[in-house]
Structure 1
Amino acid sequence: MNDHVRLHCLRHAESENVVTGTAGAQPSAALTARGRTQAAEAGLRLGGEGITHVYAGTAVRACQTAAIVARTLGLTSGVTVVSGLEEVGLGRLEGSRDPAVRARTAEVLRAWVVDGALDEAVGDGESGHTVTARVTAALTSLVTAHPGGTIAVIGHVASLTTGLGALCGLGGRVWGAPLPHAVPVLVEYGPGPTWRCRNWPGEC
């Protein structure tokens, strides 16, 4: 059996929570008009890659991005929503617009990705252990379901960076190069239990 799988992983397109500077998972935040254009452009960029299915995390902005990508690709199978790909939860600080909370969020993400300090958290929010476990479990389930296939996966900047960082051993290579909105990153699984990240946008 061919267990080589290609995943085109994307951060969702621009959304309302990004524009307003609202921190946390924000599951109900929708795409902006600019975000809808970005999602369509991502679909065009992915044309010809042989994508057979599009997956998304449970947040509205991820599902909207995925739906536009799938429609642009002409896929009739639609989008499958997968739990585990959500953005990092911040507990009682969820929804904060305090710049200090955003600064602490960036500090914690750096600790996870660069230093491997997964015990860190923003307030009473998720630890790096929790985020890494759920994202890697979700991505692993997808490659298991598509041996030899090519799929698109729509998630979020912090959780995708954390999960892919762990799976692909990215470490400090990608710090300072956050995933742009709706720009695909090619991730390959196999042969064997090996993950590779080929083209992190703006990689340092």
Structure 2
Amino acid sequence: MNDHVRLHCLRHAESENVVTGTAGAQPGAALTARGRVQASEAGLRLGGQGITHVYAGTAVRARQTAAIVAGTLGLTTGVTVVPGLEEVGLGRMEGTRDPAVRARTAEVLRSWVVDGDLDQAVADGESGHAVTARVTAALTSLVAAHPGGTIAVVGHVASLTAGLGVLCGLGGRVWGAPLPHAVPFLVEYGAGPGPTWRCPDWPGE
């Protein structure tokens, strides 16, 4: 049996919370008009890749991006929502527009990805352990459901970076190259003698 799985992952397209500089998971933030165009362009980029299904986290902006991608690809299976792919929660700092909180969020993400210090968190928000555990569980469930397949997965900049940082051992090589909106990149999973994950195609690296 072919257990090799190709995941075309992408950050959601531009959304209202990004434009307003609002920090946190912000599950209700929708796409902007520009974001809808970006999502359609992502679908065009993914044409011909053999994608059979599109998955998304629970946030509105991720689901909207995934729906546009699936529609552009002409998929009749629609989009499946997968809990665990949400953006990093910031606890009592959720929803703030304070630049200092955004700076602290970047500092914490760097400690997770570059230094491997998963104990760090923004205020009483999620630790790196919590974020990487849920993202890893979500992605692992998807590869188990599609042995030998090719799928698309829509997530968020910080949680995808943290989760794939652990799975692919990204370390500092991707720091300074944050995931742009709606630009697909390849992640490969192979069972082999032991599960292996590869991120050979990080945007901007």
Task: Determine if the TM-score, normalized by the shorter chain, exceeds 0.5.
Answer: yes
Query: Is 1:12 aligned to residue 7 of structure 2?
Result: no
For residues 172 and 72 of structure 1, what CA distance do their matches in structure 2 show?
34
For residues 161 and 31 of structure 1, what CA distance do their matches in structure 2 show?
21
- 1:48-63 maps to which residues of 2 (within 5 A)? 48-63=48-63
Task: Give the aligned partner of residue 37 of structure 1.
Answer: 37
- What do residues 6-65 of structure 1 show as CA deviations (whole Å, max 9, x unaligned)? 000000000000000000000000000000000000000000000000000000000000
Unaligned stretches of 5+ residues in structure 1: none
Task: Give the aligned partner of residue 199 of structure 2.
Answer: 197
- 1:1-204 maps to which residues of 2 (within 5 A)? 1-192=1-192, 193-203=195-205
In the TM superposition, structure 1's runs of 4+ consecutive aligned residues that sit over 6 Å from their partners are: none
The amino acid of 1:174's aligned partner reads V
Query: What TM-score do the two structures reach when normalised by structure 2?
Result: 0.99
Q: CA deviation at 1:102?
A: 0.2
Report the aligned-residue RMSD.
0.4
For residues 15 and 198 of structure 1, what CA distance do their matches in structure 2 show?
27
Unaligned stretches of 5+ residues in structure 2: none
- What do residues 91-137 of structure 1 show as CA deviations (whole Å, max 9, x unaligned)? 00000000000000000000000000000000000000000000000
Q: Secondary structure at the match of 1:47?
A: coil
Q: CA deviation at 1:177?
A: 0.0
Query: What TM-score do the two structures reach when normalised by structure 1?
Result: 0.99
For residues 106 and 133 of structure 1, what CA distance do their matches in structure 2 show?
19
Q: Percent identity?
A: 89
Q: CA deviation at 1:185?
A: 1.1
Aligned pair count reads 203
